[in-house]
Amino acid sequence: MTDLNHIRNFSIVAHIDHGKSTLADRLIQMTGTVAERDMQEQILDSMDIERERGITIKANTVRIEYPAQDGQTYILNLIDTPGHVDFAYEVSRSMQAVEGSLLVVDASQGVEAQTLANVYQAIDADHEIVPVLNKIDLPAADIDRVSEQIEDVIGIDATDAVQISAKTGVGIPDVLEAIVQRLPHPEGDRDAALKAMLVDSWYDPYLGVVVMIRVIDGTIKKGDQILMMQTGAKYKIDRLAVLKPEMQDIAELGPGEIGVLTASIKQVRDTRVGDTITHEKKQTATALPGFKPAQPVVFCGLFPVDNAEFEDLREAIEKLALNDASFSYEMETSAALGFGFRCGFLGLLHLEVIRDRIEREYDIDLITTAPSVIYHVFMRDGSMIELHNPADMPDLTHVDHIEEPRIKATILVPDEYLGDVLKLCQDRRGIQQDLTYAGTRAMVVYDLPLNEVVFDFYDRLKSVTKGYASFDYQMTGYRQDFLVKMQILVNDEPVDALSMMVHRDRAESRGRAMCEKLKELIPRHMFKIPIQAAIGGRVIARETLSALRKDVTAKCYGGDATRKRKLLEKQKAGKKKMRQFGKVEIPQEAFINALKMDS
Amino acid sequence: MAELPGFGLYVHWPFCQAKCPYCDFNSHVSTQIDHAEWARAYEMEIERLGEETGERRLNSVFFGGGTPSLMDPQTVERVLSSARRVWSFANDIEITLEANPTSVEADRFKSFFAAGVNRVSVGLQALNDADLKQLGRLHTADEGRRAFDIARAVFPRSSFDLIYARQDQSLSDWEAELAEAIAFASAHLSLYQLTIEPGTAFGDRQKRGLLRGLPPDDLAADMYEMTQQMTLDAGLPAYETSNHAQAGDESKHNLIYWRGGDWAAIGPGGHGRLTLDGSRYATETPRSPKEWLGAALNGENPENRTVLSQEEINEEAVMMGLRLAEGVEAALIPQFEEKINNINGLAESNLIELHDGRIMLTAAGRPLLNAVLRELLV
Ligand SMILES: Nc1nc2c(ncn2[C@@H]2O[C@H](COP(=O)(O)OP(=O)(O)O)[C@@H](O)[C@H]2O)c(=O)[nH]1
Ligand SMILES: C[S@@+](CC[C@H](N)C(=O)[O-])C[C@H]1O[C@@H](n2cnc3c(N)ncnc32)[C@H](O)[C@@H]1O
Ligand code: SF4
Ligand SMILES: [Mg+2]
């Protein structure tokens, strides 16, 4: 157990790509936490998808031992938090477990939208904040301008900002010293009854559920009988460890310390982030306030392309859900798509991550239906329905009005792209709330409907600003608007998977774009195929896919018989990847791609 | 109404003077060919096959390639005499040889005729020099016409091949060229739309996005339609997707393939179909000339054989049979009952017709054969 004065707990907050993971790598490396030969880049990002996309999805932790210049050795616990807005809530929770933050800003880019969003969370958590200017090796680095920005926009003193290059290693010793000297040590009473916060939990295929804790008061040991105060569940601790970042067993953890335990817990769902852990026999008198669980905001249907894989899909989803309490699912049936699941996600990235994992780790091809937010449908009889699926839209004669979720979006953008960003936000039914300047960059705040943001807003924003804009949002509440259900008909058959709620004023352009896209995505058939968008019975957009005119093999002699038969076998297999709507076959990729808009 | 398909022998000669950029046939360029060894290998293969098939009457022999007109006429002669020894020849046996129209080869036509060949199929491919060059051909249009003149004078039956829907070819270009072709054609004509095959020079160029000027599908469809009409008007109707003939002058050999008959295949990369002891086998020999030659000369059976299930036999029969104007017996469609809706749908869309238990493509259905097959078989 470590004495409180020799502990520092901190997280790193940064906009994506400003160097959070690289800095973590350097801290780990320079303190010899991981042997040089075991070092790999972005060592805290453990999922394939995290490494591939260069993003952190789950919070990760590492315990670093640092012999400081004052001759004393300190224990530094770093919690690496996710940078993407989908996981903002997860960030805010992990912040409660530490006392300070390093605010990393790319000195060549300056403050960005996620810098703001994340640093405000740190401020809300009463953190001491040390500004760190990264990438000073870049010629474009402008230390004075960015320091000024930090002071003007965020309002924290940047005179003592640590200047570093996480890439070359310059300034890393200064970061370590600043952590020790400028961040507060935790407080706690080691003689009091055990009080520890459940910071996070995840499923490990070898160890089962692993629970990360921050001890506040008292001490915890292997073999202890513990009680989770909110859930009332009792466990015996099988294993107690710290993360370096590999698990290393430890005899005891005391106040201020961060570690993990295993205790034959079956599912992640049995644990609740923010819960208070105490000893069964000697309980703490005051439980922590706890957190409210993360709520899914985006919903879509996931169907196996091959109906025969439904059970495999069920198994995959159940397994993933065990490890991800913020992901919800329930069975759904569709006339055209058969059996599948309606799933809820924290955002579109979360959706893509889960979908990728099902396709990759479980080898199941999926059809993803149009993502939807939760609408509040107020009925004439005064009741309210939470609509997760446009297919469930009640008969309009019974509907009084519909409300949709809105967000507050903060976008930072270089001047020259401001016009394009404003146009994009206006097109997406945004209401401007604020427009200020942070140095040479404009900061726009918009009130936007979430449903205009879920498909491709972020992609569009990146493309109209050549990647220079940054974006962050938070949910604000519900508001009534003129929303309608738009259906897509292919060869006069409605395709439910493509139904969506849209604003009446946006329906025509949305419908036209969908029909045009589908015309490209559906292969020609032997007959011409009308593709229509309709509201109720009224067609608002229409395209026609002309009939296939030529598909014949010019020469076919003795040697080609075998080849043709093999092709036939392939086509039989390929047919499983198509879905039949009436006489029309729609390929799997068409569903999600039809939703992506060019403007 | 279809006749019985009969029994054929396919002989593959795998060598060419140069490789054409569109061609995915098993053809190789080689300067060292021991013609006597090849003749010997073919003879041994015929002996071996004869022992397995027993006594059968041969309706056709086809020398295909590659470029069989580069064979030593003596090899052709030796193949034919051992085939006659092993199987008896039908009175009206058809013996075809594929020929390239360079002058060197045209001179040898007489020797091939003397060796027993009675039908020749000449690969003219195009009737203008610019397009021949683009197709990588070694002969000019004039050489082609002259070679065909000799061929038709020497052989009782003759045919030539053209490839159309070429790069930068317009509908009217093809109309003029086809009119010229029809004017000097004999009783049989093969007209293939250019197919870009993977693994060929054109295929690679297409993959890299560098193959320009190919007609879009709609134009290719118009070309096909026009071809059907012009040949019909000229008395050379299509009896198969790409083959045209006056009645009675169809290629007997190719009809064996399309009608689901038996044929033995010798030479590298040869595919055969043989019914032995009540089972139908797909046979296939190694594509490498060296490998095949070595095995054949060693008296080893170079074939790879697989038994076809009844369903596979029927699928093949439908795939091949629907290429023919005469169509195929409808009952051969596997799971016919389950396909009845699709069949009716195709008939309503005027893509197929049903007569006397046979199913055949209409003029509208012909250019959509693969799509029709997907409905019937997939
Ligand atoms: N030139 C330079 N590049 C850096 C530095 N630190 C990080 N990077 C690069 O910036 C990119 C994003 O870094 P990463 O650590 O993944 O950022 P994160 O998204 O905040 O975790 C990577 O390509 C890093 O190699 C630095 O100090 N200098
Ligand atoms: C075995 S090949 C060639 C015979 C002979 N070696 C020649 O080139 O004339 C038979 C015929 O198939 C046709 N052919 C070959 N490759 C083709 C392709 N990629 N597309 C269309 N027709 C092709 C040509 O018309 C060719 O004459
Ligand atoms: S088209 Fe004929 S000559 Fe050209 S490579 Fe093929 S087989 Fe040989
Ligand atoms: Mg990262």
A562 vs B contacts (CB less than 8 Å): 271, 282, 284
Residues B95, B97, B103: CA angle, nearest 5 degrees:
140
Cα distance between residue A356 and residue A365, in whole Å: 10
- Beta bridge partner(s), residue A436: A443
Phi/psi for A477 (5° steps) reads 155, -165
E strand or H helix that includes residue A485: strand A483-490
Residues of chain A numbered 133-172 and touching chain B (CB < 8 Å): none
* pLDDT less than 50: residues of chain A: 599
Q: What mean pLDDT value characterizes chain B?
A: 95
Contact A548 B368 (CB under 8 A): yes
Helices A560-575 and B369-377: crossing angle in degrees, nearest 10, is 60
Q: Is A134 in the pocket of ligand 1 (CB under 6 A)?
A: yes
Contact A565 B378 (CB under 8 A): no
B370 vs A contacts (CB less than 8 Å): 551-553
Contact B271 A552 (CB under 8 A): no
Q: How many CB pairs under 8 A join A and B?
A: 94
Question: Taking CA atoms, what residue in A is nearest to B264?
Answer: A558
Which of B333, B373, B376 has the highest number of chain A CBs within 10 A, making it the mutation to test binding with A? B373
Distance (angstroms) between ligand 4 centre and the Cα of B337 equals 59
Q: Is A84 in the pocket of ligand 1 (CB under 6 A)?
A: no
Q: Checking phi first, is residue B314 left (phi over 0); if not, alpha (psi -120 to 50) or beta?
A: alpha
B378 vs A contacts (CB less than 8 Å): 568, 571-572, 575
Contact B323 A556 (CB under 8 A): yes
Per-residue model confidence (pLDDT) at position A51 = 52
Q: Is A83 in the pocket of ligand 1 (CB under 6 A)?
A: yes
Local structure of A37: helix, strand or coil: helix
Cα distance between residue A228 and residue A195, in whole Å: 10
Nearest CA distance, B344 vs chain A (angstrom): 13
Nearest to B242 among A548, A554, A558 (CB): A554
Give the pair of three-digit tokens for residue B302: 């170079």
E strand or H helix that includes residue A179: helix A172-182
Strand blocks (E) in A232-360 = 234-236, 239-243, 247-249, 252-253, 258-262, 276-279, 298-304, 328-334, 338-345
Cα distance between residue B142 and residue B144, in whole Å: 5
E strand or H helix that includes residue B8: strand B7-13
Whether the per-residue pLDDT at B331 is higher than 70: the answer is yes
Which of B287, B338, B368, B372 has the highest number of chain A CBs within 10 A, making it the mutation to test binding with A? B368
Query: Measured in whole angstroms, how far is the alpha carbon of residue A21 from the centre of its chain?
Result: 17
A169, A135 Cβ separation under 8 angstroms: no
pTM here? Answer: 0.68
Ligand 2 atom 8: residue of nearest CA: B123
B217 vs A contacts (CB less than 8 Å): 548-550
Nearest CA distance, B218 vs chain A (angstrom): 6
Does A571 reach chain B within 8 Å, measured CB to CB?
yes
Q: Is B192 in the pocket of ligand 2 (CB under 6 A)?
A: yes
Contact B257 A549 (CB under 8 A): no
Cα distance between residue A305 and residue B256, in whole Å: 41
Distance (angstroms) between ligand 3 centre and the Cα of B358 equals 36
Per-residue model confidence (pLDDT) at position B1 = 43
Return the ligand number nearest the Cα of A553: 2
Dump pLDDT digits (tens) for B39-48.
999 999 999 9
A548 vs B contacts (CB less than 8 Å): 217, 368, 371
Contact A568 B373 (CB under 8 A): yes
Say which residues have a Cβ less than 8 Å from residue A287's Cβ, sequence separation at least 6.
Answer: A195, A229, A230, A276, A278
Nearest CA distance, B271 vs chain A (angstrom): 5
Dump pLDDT digits (tens) for B215-264.
999 999 999 999 999 999 999 999 999 999 999 999 999 999 999 999 99
Considering only CA atoms, which of B62, B65, B70 is closest in space to residue B95? B62
Q: What is the ipTM of this complex?
A: 0.91
B323 vs A contacts (CB less than 8 Å): 556
Contact A575 B378 (CB under 8 A): yes
Cα distance between residue B172 and residue B185, in whole Å: 20
Contact B370 A553 (CB under 8 A): yes
Contact A549 B377 (CB under 8 A): no
Pocket test for ligand 3, best of B17, B22, B25, B197 (most atoms within 8 A of CB): B25
Per-residue model confidence (pLDDT) at position A463 = 84
Q: Is A61 in the pocket of ligand 1 (CB under 6 A)?
A: no
Contact B369 A551 (CB under 8 A): yes
E strand or H helix that includes residue B195: none
Task: Please report which confidence band the pLDDT of residue B20 belongs to, taking 50, 70 and 90 as the band edges.
Answer: very high
Does A561 reach chain B within 8 Å, measured CB to CB?
yes
Per-residue model confidence (pLDDT) at position A508 = 94
Which residue in the block uniquely carries the two structure tokens 């935790």?
Answer: A186
Which ligand 2 atom minimizes the distance to the CA of B23? 16
Per-residue model confidence (pLDDT) at position A58 = 54
Does A547 reach chain B within 8 Å, measured CB to CB?
no
Ligand 2 atom 1: residue of nearest CA: B65
Bond from prior residue into B66 cis (ω within 30 degrees of 0) = yes
